[in-house]
Structure 1
Amino acid sequence: MTDPNGAVPTYPTSLGTSTATEINLLGHDLAGELMGKISFGELAYWLVATRRPTPGQLRVFEAVLVALADHGFTPTAIAARVTYLSAPDSLQGALAAGLLGGGSRFLGVTEDCGQFLHAAITDHTANGNALPTTDADWDEMALDAIARQKQTGKHVPGLGHPNHKDGDPRTPVLIGIAEDAGVKGPHLRLFEAIGRMSERGVGRKLPLNGAGVCGAALADIDLPVELLRGFALLARCAGLLGQLAEEHRAPIANQIYMSVDRNAYYVEPDLPAT
């Protein structure tokens, strides 16, 4: 295709190109230099950050992908299974249905928490303030961040979990991995402080959830906070494919559908008085 002046337009990219004889990805020969030599996690990081992760960053990144892959019969999994029941000829539709359910209550908390922490850190350092060096100073910063969030009328992302009332088992493990890998940074430190200060700031002690700690960890390994939900969806795509494989082997979606359909009953709508 040419432009009106007859010149051939060009489209620069730092990602992938191909010719009749080769595929080039990230400036490397895909077949000769990448396949069998790097992991999928390393490639996913590299595609977004446009640089290879350090060993510590890769270890944390892949731990996050594992942490977010599957949590059982969540709404995203049920949506995927029921869509597969309705359209077994459209595996991509079933996967998409599950991924479309990633929002403010499921999966999206990863991005929400990362952005919340990043904004608090950016605001703190905007006036030339140094980041805290003691737990007490981090706690003070956490209380300020919680108060600011409460003023907006929004919940503090990363706090609380519907099942793990006494603590999400993923949270301390991921923090420990980040520390051991040498990539525990300000986002995780502020996140820990928010957990310590939740009772004072929110009014009740709430656990730090796994989606939130994943957001903090991803921000600490220098991934753009505006894209963190994408990594949660990347992880959940693997989990949803597992859910659909199990649905194919041992289907339950029709049982879910029949249970709802056969137990539905009509009620008069509760309309406002005119």
Structure 2
Amino acid sequence: MTLQMTSDERAVRQWWRTSIIDMKPGQIAFRGNAIEDLIGNVSFPQMIWLMVRGDLPSDAQARLFEAALVAGVDHGPQAPSIAAARMAATCGVDLNNAMATAVNMLGDVHGGAGEQCAELYYDIAVRMDAGASLNDAVRDGLDSWCETYGKIVSGFGHRFHKPVDPRAPRLMQLVRDAAAEGTVSGRFADIGEEVQAELGRQRGGRPIAMNIDGATAVIFCELGFPAPLSRGLFCLSRSVGILAHAWEQMGQGGRNKGPMPPNYLPFYEDRNDDT
């Protein structure tokens, strides 16, 4: 016999609505796939794709997606989020607190460049769909970007890696290989490389690096991820490095470590000093 729900019971059950998980006692299914069928049969990158997209990627799509995730895991303690994780670890907090401290620093300036770059690529693609050539679409897209955000173009240039970010060429080669196999179109690889070339021309011929954000944005766009997911996926990727550094720091010890050794003090700026 099927029991009819009252309006109050229906309201309670529909307070949260999700197509991600169907969970009841003795049953767990993600996007219609029983958990026992997924365990041991899909990789973690495939599971991420399933959860956010609703379907499973092909093996070739999953390999390209995984490459982007692997490339962004860490960039050392000079990255503010990694430094924050290590400082938090010396303050006596647990691993999850240290990780949360770091992830919460991944904002527009540090961590958001991939999303912004994907927005640029998608804007250029829309211009091409409207009939503009690749070159014209890139120039117009960059002009629009700079009018809105300023001269720094997210995804290009790097304070350490000049003129090449060693991660980008490898990722772009994987995209080209995937395009040759028919896994992706290669359209956004063309767009990303033309943006890089145009920025070089605007700099008087001086080369500029496509950085990790520019390269992973190419991959996420090729695979059809909406731009905002680029940031979320970067957070997942960088969380691996954040976890590793927080754990390492806990093993090294140290108490209340700040951003620089205690024998170095911040410069005091006397606003009343006219000299």
TM category, shorter: 0.7 to 0.9
**Aligned match of 2:85:** 80
Does the C-alpha gap of structure 1 residues 141 and 259 become closer, same or farther in structure 2, counting only changes over 3 Å?
closer
Q: String of CA shifts for 1:44-88, please: whole Å, max 9, x gaps.
A: 011111111122221111001100001111211110111111133
Instruction: Say which SS state the counterpart of residue 257 (structure 1) adopts.
Output: coil
Instruction: Say which SS state the counterpart of residue 156 (structure 2) adopts.
Output: coil
The residue type equivalent to 2:265 in the other structure is A
Q: String of CA shifts for 1:191-234, please: whole Å, max 9, x gaps.
A: 10011111223555311111111012111101111221000000
**Aligned match of 1:174:** 171
CA distance in 1, matches of 2:56, 2:6: 40
**Aligned match of 2:124:** 120
TM-score (norm 2): 0.85
1:92-241 equivalences under 5 Å are 92-125=96-129, 127=130, 129=131, 137-154=133-150, 155-182=152-179, 183-203=184-204, 204-241=206-243
CA distance in 2, matches of 1:245, 1:6: 47
TM-score (norm 1): 0.85
CA distance in 1, matches of 2:142, 2:223: 23
CA distance in 2, matches of 1:18, 1:271: 65
The residue type equivalent to 1:81 in the other structure is R
**Aligned match of 1:257:** 258
The residue type equivalent to 1:116 in the other structure is L
Q: String of CA shifts for 1:26-50, please: whole Å, max 9, x gaps.
A: 101102x001110010010111111
Does the C-alpha gap of structure 1 residues 272 and 207 become closer, same or farther in structure 2, counting only changes over 3 Å?
same
The residue type equivalent to 2:271 in the other structure is D
**RMSD across aligned positions (CA):** 2.5
Q: Give the drift of 1:177.
A: 0.8
CA distance in 2, matches of 1:255, 1:6: 52
Instruction: Say which SS state the counterpart of residue 181 (structure 1) adopts.
Output: helix
**Aligned match of 1:133:** none
Q: Which residue, 49, 53, 56 being the options, matches 2:57?
A: 53
The residue type equivalent to 1:139 in the other structure is N
CA contact (8 A) 2:176 2:189 kept: no
Q: String of CA shifts for 1:149-169, please: whole Å, max 9, x gaps.
A: 222352221110011112111
**Aligned match of 1:14:** 19
CA contact (8 A) 2:163 2:207 kept: no
CA distance in 2, matches of 1:185, 1:47: 25
CA contact (8 A) 1:107 1:232 kept: yes
CA distance in 1, matches of 2:270, 2:214: 39
1:69 aligns with 2:73: yes
**Aligned match of 2:39:** 35
CA distance in 2, matches of 1:42, 1:265: 47
User: Please, which runs of 5 or more residues in structure 2 have no aligned partner?
Assistant: none
Runs of 4+ with >6 A deviation = none
Q: String of CA shifts for 1:131-159, please: whole Å, max 9, x gaps.
A: xxxxxx43333222222222235222111
Q: Give the drift of 1:4.
A: 9.2
